[in-house]
A and B are shown apart, each in its own frame.
Chain A
Amino acid sequence: MPKLIIDNREIEVPEGIKVIEAADRAGIYIPRFCYYAELGAVGACRICAVKFVDGPVKGIEMSCMINAQDGMVVSTTDPEARDFRRHVIEWLMMNHPHDCPVCDEGGHCLLQDLTESCDHGIRRYKGKKRTYVDQYLGPLIQHEENRCIQCYRCSRYYQEFAGYKDLGVMGIAQRIYFGRYAAGVLESPFSGNIIDLCPTGVYTDKPSRYTGRRWDYERVPGICINCSLGCHITVSARYREIVYLEGRYSGKVNGSFICDRGRYGFFYANLEERPRQGRVRGEDVPSGRAITMAAQRVKEVSESHGAAAIAVIGSGRSSLETIAALTHVCKVQGWRGPVLFDSRVSSESVRTAVSCIAQELAVSMKEIESADFILTVGADPINEAPMLAMAMRQAWRKGAGVAAIDCRSLDWPFQFEQVTAAPDDMADFLAALENSETTVISDRFVAQIKSIAAKIRACHRPVVVCGTEITDSKIIYGAAGFVKAMRQAGQEAGLFYTLPAANSYGAALLDEIGETAEDLIERIESGEIKALVIVESDLWDTFSDRQRLIQALEQLELLVVADFMATEILHRADIIIPTLSIFEAGGIYVNQEGRAQWSPPAYAGGTPIKITGQGGHPPRIIRPDIPAGDISPAWRMAWWLADRQPPASHDLLLDWMGKTFPVLEKAANFTSEGIRLYLPEARRKTARETGGRKIQSLGEYLLLPVAAVFGDEPMAQRSPCLEGYAKHPEMWMAASDARLFDASDGDAARLQLPYGPLELTLRLSERIAPGTLIVYRCPDLFWQQFARSSRFIVPKDRIRIEKKA
């Protein structure tokens, strides 16, 4: 390990890192524009010049271009180096407009900071500045090319790191231009990162334009809950609303970047229609009053029908605190629940995955970047857990092979090999890869499977990524079994599941029964359940049979709904109780690898000033409290509903959680990287054969609703700026099946389903498994109706194809 001296400090660093990174490790900041740790060095901007005083290199050199070597003596403060940097910043500033006062980057602008710190104050250049026409890049990012200093971070990130081809650099010399071929919405679902990356104000956040300066905001480190990965973010709040989110570095989860769903999926917390008052039978009441009345009514039902006539529904979008409180309250009160899963299939899949994850098998998302082969089974990262696709791309860039067993026409920003398998066949393919047993699979796949198996055997750090949305527990077990077998064979194999919601893992840790909403509806129908308490869950959005749901809800004596979002089910509630979002209450969320992470509150809550002031100046009413500042987090409400006293503080709550639930024993001792929680051996499910193959006959089609990055996540769906991003209703069909219908790409497909006809645009692909019809979930489509039990079979005569004009 080379030892070198930077600014009179001796440090020892790993072989092969650059001097600028060595300085970072020693806490010495060298100015930089083009250099960015995750993008690597290119030596384009010349601002990181330092003086090499002694050792193998001498004189002024770029610290991002020279490897740290033994015996180097480096000075960042040498007069010659400072003079060099002063000139560099002067030329970089030559064309830069003096529009800092109206630029949203002002206040957190790297160019501004380095211009100051490199001692450039007076402009000498008297000529005309070059100017550009800006482009419309969509509703998320504002383009202002005049401010560009040609550091290339955006184009390198966009094309090399992220793998998209619609933003880059054009022209030469003084005409250089960063943008698109033609104005238009950026295609990458990771585009927002160029806002964080740009060292000046070329790309700024559009929804929060002209909202404030960074020092105006309440800023806290947070955790993203728009999928199960739990990426690290920085939350900025002002005037009682969230302004914007940024990526925050995590060496275990996401690195520096986040996806656009996570970045812009927070607007549900700001919306006017969000419940901010209690409501009892159509009348507004203070939130505390609604809780007391709900507790009273629950008690009445309990007295007349028994405690088991009360049921509680929660969800994977609640914090671990809320899930723990609901679990506890149900147990001590004798209520049914909490039901934390939508359907039997998802309950089974998630609980199986959590049961299979163990300390020695799990890999973090960041570790995936150093895998040398990645096999996915029934997983579509770009749609289910977007940042996972970025991690896989980084592995691929370093030479890792990627193979996918899936029935969808996967579209990822890197090369991969797909084995097109119907959902029922995926387990067989997985088994064939594991033990080279190829008799169960179709002949035409044998060569492909054998070649993939050989590639996996030849590598050292393979990772198996397994989805839980279109897979069954047999596949989920199979993935863990394969990883175990590889580990026994001496490979450092890792296992990575994706789960449906931010806290699905937490739910599975606490839920020992795995009851589902379907089970509850049956019990409501039979008259067993008389009162239903729904906490941060939307049955309307998750239950497949709406007619049945409406009838069941009408049979209830009491429906209490508590939520921080304006869900559909609220309209049917007898009592509405508002709760706090993650930004106001904070919360622990356990990501899909079992990493429990604490996201602290960003602001105290209350109705945004934009709403109380109706867009103008806030009302000049002097009051001691915050409007709608009396809302409680759902975990407190849980205790109050049972007429019990919750722990007095969050710290006491964590103590209580650790003592009450052995699996959460470590929950109170958090580090910034979270803590990994696993099910104890005794609670792990053992593998069992699930039902065997379900026979699907010829002329029948399995209709499968699948995740879409902007289509189905309940929180991000409420962001006005993401509205145009959901896919239009499409149905994908195998090209070979299309021949039977004489159909071609772009035709209109019409499905006769029990809920009425469904109109979709037909898309064809060779990579769709024959006999499967894939529909990407989108808000315009009542896909829930065929999500039931994930096996919705459509006979051929129910499918009509109309030729496009």
Chain B
Amino acid sequence: MLPETYKSELKDRLQKVGNPREMVVDVMLEVQEFYGWFSDEALEQAAVLLGMSSLEIEELATFYNTIYRQPVGKFVIHVCDSVICWMENGYGELIDHIGKKLGIGMGETTPDGLFSLLPACCIGYCDHAPAIMINKTVYGDIAPAKMDEIIETLRQEK
């Protein structure tokens, strides 16, 4: 259950905007932050808070790729899966490398719950292709060695 303080604070914020729908994305992200992913329970509570139907929330939640309707690891690696990154030499090998390094395929999470690997359509970092995004941080000019380094650093961080 979401903390009562959050609920009452949200109620105040909703009153300030004209239409609660304006805040759907913010609420989804905040509730997801609390649960770690956007579970059915999270979704249904967001619907109640916003006065919308569960379906209306689901329509949006399944549209956006950073709303996770399934459990994800602590670090979600979004690998750019768009045309500019494809054009970079070694893109295919890089994807294979990340998978091998973590021991998982696209859409999977490492058994220790640290990393999830997801494809993303363009993340807007084309001038530094190939690019990835981990949680809210964007990394460019990725090569296998740099990728290893990032992963190791994050492992230390946990």
- Chain A residues close to B by CB (< 8 Å): 165-172, 175, 177, 180-182
Contact = CB atoms under 8 A, between A and B. Distances in A.
A168 B59 CA distance: 7
B63 A172 contact: yes
A136 to B, nearest CB: 15
Given A167-B55, A170-B55, A172-B62, 15 more contacts: A165-B52, A165-B53, A165-B55, A166-B53, A166-B55, A168-B55, A170-B58, A170-B63, A171-B62, A172-B63, A177-B62, A180-B55, A181-B53, A181-B58, A182-B54
Contacts of B59: 168-170
A168 B62 CA distance: 12
B157 interface: no
Contacts of A177: 62
B63 A171 contact: yes
20 contacts: A165-B53, A165-B55, A166-B53, A166-B55, A167-B55, A168-B55, A168-B56, A168-B59, A169-B59, A170-B59, A170-B62, A170-B63, A171-B63, A172-B62, A175-B62, A180-B55, A181-B53, A181-B54, A181-B55, A182-B54
A181 B65 CA distance: 18
B143 to A, nearest CB: 29
B18 to A, nearest CB: 15
Interface in B35-82: 52-56, 58-59, 62-63, 65
A167 B56 CA distance: 9
Contacts of A166: 53, 55
Nearest to B47: A181
Q: Which of B55, B56, B62 is the most central at the interface, judged by chain A CB atoms within 10 Å of its CB?
A: B55
Contacts of A165: 52-53, 55-56
Nearest to B55: A181
A177 B58 CA distance: 11
A164 to B, nearest CB: 9
A748 to B, nearest CB: 26
A170 B63 CA distance: 7
B133 to A, nearest CB: 18
Nearest to A171: B62
Contacts of A169: 59
A599 to B, nearest CB: 37
Contacts of B65: 172
A688 to B, nearest CB: 48
Closest 8 A/B residue pairs (Cβ): A165-B53, A181-B54, A181-B55, A170-B62, A171-B62, A181-B58, A172-B63, A168-B59
A172 B52 CA distance: 20
A289 to B, nearest CB: 58
A178 to B, nearest CB: 10
A251 B47 CA distance: 39
A167 B54 CA distance: 10
A169 B55 CA distance: 8
Contacts of A170: 55, 58-59, 62-63
A269 to B, nearest CB: 36
Nearest to B54: A181
A170 B62 CA distance: 6
A181 B57 CA distance: 9
Nearest to B64: A172
Contacts of A167: 55
A172 B58 CA distance: 12
A177 B65 CA distance: 16
A171 B69 CA distance: 11
B51 to A, nearest CB: 11
Interface string B73-104: 00000000000000000000000000000000
Nearest to A187: B53
Contacts of B53: 165-166, 181
A505 B65 CA distance: 58
Contacts of B58: 170, 181
B2 to A, nearest CB: 19
A180 B55 CA distance: 6
A168 B56 CA distance: 8
Contacts of B56: 165, 168
A426 B63 CA distance: 48
A172 B64 CA distance: 8
A165 B54 CA distance: 9
A115 to B, nearest CB: 29
A408 B59 CA distance: 33
B128 to A, nearest CB: 25
B107 to A, nearest CB: 12
A182 B52 CA distance: 15
A181 to B, nearest CB: 4
Nearest to A159: B56
A177 B61 CA distance: 13
Contacts of B63: 170-172
Contacts of A172: 62-63, 65
B68 to A, nearest CB: 14
A182 B54 CA distance: 9
Interface in B135-151: none
A181 B54 CA distance: 6
B125 to A, nearest CB: 21
A182 B65 CA distance: 21
Contacts of A168: 55-56, 59
Nearest to A173: B121
B95 to A, nearest CB: 19
Contacts of A180: 55
Contacts of B54: 181-182
Interface in B108-148: none
A143 to B, nearest CB: 14
B65 to A, nearest CB: 8
A584 B56 CA distance: 44
Nearest to A172: B63
Nearest to B43: A181
A414 to B, nearest CB: 16
Nearest to A177: B62
A518 to B, nearest CB: 46
A172 B62 CA distance: 7
Nearest to A166: B55
Contacts of A175: 62
Interface string B4-30: 000000000000000000000000000
Contacts of A171: 62-63
Contacts of A181: 53-55, 58
B78 to A, nearest CB: 15
A106 B54 CA distance: 33
Contacts of B62: 170-172, 175, 177
Nearest to B121: A173
A167 B58 CA distance: 11
A172 B69 CA distance: 13
A180 B53 CA distance: 10
A138 to B, nearest CB: 15
A169 B62 CA distance: 10
Nearest to A180: B55
B83 to A, nearest CB: 15
A736 to B, nearest CB: 25
